[in-house]
């Protein structure tokens, strides 16, 4: 067995030594038939056009794709040549081998072009994404919301009852680790990409918006039919996850430009935070660097506008078919602050809708289209509260997210032609290890951590039956810890005075434990295990659990890459029926 392995290793290293060029889409790309994408070959040195040949299954690429090749002798800031074929597409499903040569440089990659069912299997798709949703988040939300007796859960989360399941790999093209841009982009385009990239392969040139593009699900829906599109998030609407539905940029930080990309695709429903990037720079609170008033542009495009819960309800009654709801200049407040503690920025934005209300309005509007719809709903702050290890806030966000899942499931009862997908985009290294019991003796909070039999059960209550624990600050609560962290003070307690800020920057720009929590009784200093440039916990590389139901959902099973998820969505929606 050893011999063939060695032979294979030698072949691989020889091949990569000879072929220094890079071809986008990358090797093993899966491409929706008929969908436009940019083909780019980056050569390793300056070459002349007559030295270059690019073939697809042995025929000139120009001929196969029916598009002109752009030759770039010297790429911007790079001492090497490249060729580009913009907005190419391949009609017939199959395996395609692409070979690029320039002098002694050669490179070949294989693509799989896939078709879909001739007739769509689902009329509607509701894709619910809990950002950073990990297994411990689900367990914690279930225990806090439903309770547990003698080891059995007293109730189930809505997502617990979705009948199909898969494990999803979330790694990016340039690292095993990942962020919300490349992960959601893979779900929404079928192509994996690099950290921070949306709807493009990350090329070597500096500009963020010239990289080879791939089609987003929103563009595919616009190209192939008349379905409505909805994007709902508790984050800034230009944040990575919602942006991935419509955007093309190497840099998720291009938020001002991403607003323009939303206007280009015009999803019928856009609900979330992030109004700062819609306002011209002259307006107080604007984060734009130009005078473009995107609020006015969206109004001109026929959108009803809403800036709080009351206006959202009113906008839903105007029947314009298009709603732009921007309820915060930045990220919206989390449920624990919005509905219970009134901390965070709730004083400034007192009337924000929650994810449940936004999902309800979105479904009410989108379902008016007889052609059906695609709706993306993001529970963004599961992640945003897991970074600072504010576990109570993140768990309550999961409960809210699950209630939005419930809204979708209720809708599907009367609209059985609806596929529901519930997943995360990456995980956090969060784990529940037992309980923290204040009644245990001694001043040391560590001694109050109960593990194994000593953990017993937490004593959260939900007397008013709203699905949320009446208080997260109970005397025997979940012991939730993270495995990646900067220096910080572990207080073993919920953060009742507002979201946790574990670390702050010192004069040498390193993150050190936030002294604000030093004197919390029993707090212990945990020396970080991350570089001192890290201000919070980081994403984990662990698989994500995806669950789904409805027509086409049986396509989700076993282990899948995020890019494979798009194949199931495309198939359910019939985005590439066979052509003859």
DSSP letter string, 381-445: HHHHHHTTT-HHHHHHHHHHHHHHHHHHHHHHHH-TTEEEEEEESSEE-EEEEEEEETTSSSS-G
Cβ at position 484, least distance to Zn ion in Å: 12
The CB-of-239 to Zn ion minimum distance in angstroms stands at 10
Q: Which is nearer to Zn ion, 235 or 279 (CB)?
A: 235
Nearer CB in complex with Zn ion: 196/360: 196
- Minimum distance between the CB of residue 180 and Zn ion, rounded to whole angstroms? 6
The residue whose two tokens read 């291009």 is: 254
Number of separate helices (H) and strands (E) present in the chain: 14, 30
Nearer to Zn ion, 88 or 198 (CB): 198
Place of tokens 């139901």: 549
Q: Using alpha carbons, select from 115, 116, 112 the residue that is nearest to residue 28.
A: 112
- Would you say the C-alpha torsion 470, 476, 482, 486 has a positive or negative sign? positive
Q: How far is the CB of 491 from Zn ion (least distance, A)?
A: 22
- Say if residues 195 and 342 touch (Cβ distance below 8 Å): no
* Nearest distance in Å: CB 378, Zn ion: 12
Nearer to Zn ion, 81 or 536 (CB): 536
Q: Which residue number, 212 or 388, has a Cβ lying nearer to Zn ion?
A: 388
**Beta carbon nearer to Zn ion, 99 or 383:** 383
CB count within 10 Å of CB 522 equals 16
- Given the complex with Zn ion, which of 222 and 426 has the nearer CB atom? 426
Smallest gap from residue 131 Cβ to Zn ion (A): 7
Close Cβ partners of 159 (under 8 Å, ≥ 6 residues apart):
138, 402, 405, 422, 547
The structure tokens listed for 313 are: 């309800």
Nearest distance, CB of residue 536 and Zn ion, angstroms: 9
Q: Which residue's CB is nearer to Zn ion, number 245 or number 573?
A: 245
DSSP 214: B
Q: How far is the CB of 30 from Zn ion (least distance, A)?
A: 26
d(CA 336, CA 356): 14
Give the span between the Cα atoms of 576 and 580, in whole angstroms: 12
Q: Which residues pair with 110 in a beta bridge?
A: 97
248 within 8 A of 197, measured Cβ to Cβ:
no
- Give the binding site for Zn ion (CB under 5 A): 383
Nearer to Zn ion, 383 or 571 (CB): 383
3 state SS of 39: strand
Which residues are bridge partners to 489 per DSSP?
A: 525
Cβ nearer to Zn ion, comparing 240 with 336: 240
According to DSSP, the β-strands at 52-56 and 94-102 are antiparallel
Nearer to Zn ion, 105 or 333 (CB): 333
Shortest Cβ distance from residue 387 to Zn ion (Å)? Answer: 6
The least CB distance from residue 118 to Zn ion, in Å, is 39
Handedness of CA 523, 529, 533, 539 (dihedral sign): negative
* Closest residue to bound Zn ion by CB: 383
Q: How far is the CB of 325 from Zn ion (least distance, A)?
A: 23
From residue 360, give the alpha-carbon distance in Å to each of 366, 407, 411.
Answer: 10, 7, 9
């Amino acid at each position: 067995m050893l011999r063939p392995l060695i032979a294979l290793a030698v072949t691989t290293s020889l091949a990569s030594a000879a072929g220094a060029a890079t071809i986008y889409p990358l090797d093993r790309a899966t491409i929706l038939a008929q969908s436009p994408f940019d083909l780019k070959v980056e050569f390793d040195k300056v070459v002349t056009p007559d030295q270059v040949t690019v073939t697809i299954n042995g025929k000139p690429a120009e001929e196969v794709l029916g598009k002109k090749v752009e030759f770039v002798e010297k790429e911007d800031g790079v001492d090497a040549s490249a060729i580009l074929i913009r907005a190419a597409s391949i009609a017939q499903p199959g395996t395609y081998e692409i070979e690029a040569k320039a002098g002694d440089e050669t490179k070949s990659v294989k693509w799989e072009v896939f078709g879909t069912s001739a007739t769509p299997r689902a009329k509607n798709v509701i894709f619910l994404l809990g950002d950073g949703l990990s297994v411990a988040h689900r367990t914690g939300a279930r225990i806090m919301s439903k309770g547990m007796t003698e080891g059995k859960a007293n109730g189930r989360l809505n997502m617990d009852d979705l009948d199909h399941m898969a494990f999803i790999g979330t790694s990016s093209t340039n690292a095993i680790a990942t962020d919300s841009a490349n992960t959601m982009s893979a779900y929404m385009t079928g192509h994996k990409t690099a950290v921070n990239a949306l709807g493009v392969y990350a090329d070597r040139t500096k500009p963020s918006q010239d990289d080879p593009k791939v089609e987003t699900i929103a563009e595919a829906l616009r190209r192939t039919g008349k379905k409505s599109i909805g994007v709902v998030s508790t984050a800034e609407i230009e944040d990575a996850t919602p942006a991935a539905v419509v955007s093309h940029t190497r840099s998720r930080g291009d938020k001002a430009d991403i607003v323009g990309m939303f206007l280009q695709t015009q999803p019928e429903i856009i609900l979330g935070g992030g109004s700062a990037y819609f306002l011209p720079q002259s307006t107080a609170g604007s984060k734009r660097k130009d005078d473009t008033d995107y609020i006015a542009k969206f109004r001109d495009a026929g959108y009803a506008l809403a800036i709080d819960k009351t206006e959202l309800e009113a906008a839903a009654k105007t029947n314009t078919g298009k709603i732009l709801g921007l309820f915060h200049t930045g990220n919206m407040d989390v449920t624990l602050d919005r509905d219970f503690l009134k901390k965070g920025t709730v004083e400034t934005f007192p009337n924000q809708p929650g994810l449940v209300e936004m999902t309800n309005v979105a479904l009410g509007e989108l379902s008016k289209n007889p052609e059906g719809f695609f709706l993306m709903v993001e529970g963004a702050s599961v992640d945003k509260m897991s970074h600072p290890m504010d576990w109570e806030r993140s768990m309550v966000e999961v409960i809210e997210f699950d209630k939005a899942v419930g809204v979708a499931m209720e809708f599907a009862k009367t609209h059985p032609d609806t596929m529901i997908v519930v997943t995360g985009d990456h995980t956090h290294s969060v784990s529940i290890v037992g309980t923290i019991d204040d009644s245990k003796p001694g001043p040391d909070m560590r001694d109050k951590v109960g593990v194994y039999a000593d953990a017993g059960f937490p004593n959260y209550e939900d007397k008013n039956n709203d699905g949320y624990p009446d208080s997260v600050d109970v005397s025997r609560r979940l012991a939730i810890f993270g495995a990646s962290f900067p220096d910080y003070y572990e207080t073993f307690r919920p953060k009742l005075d507002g979201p946790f800020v574990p670390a702050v920057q010192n004069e040498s720009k390193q993150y050190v434990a936030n002294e604000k929590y030093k004197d919390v009784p029993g707090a212990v200093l945990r020396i970080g295990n991350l570089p001192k440039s890290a201000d919070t916990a980081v994403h984990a590389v662990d698989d994500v659990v995806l669950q789904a139901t409805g027509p086409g959902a049986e396509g989700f099973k076993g282990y899948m890459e995020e890019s494979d998820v798009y194949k199931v969505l495309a198939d359910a929606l019939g985005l590439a029926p066979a052509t003859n």
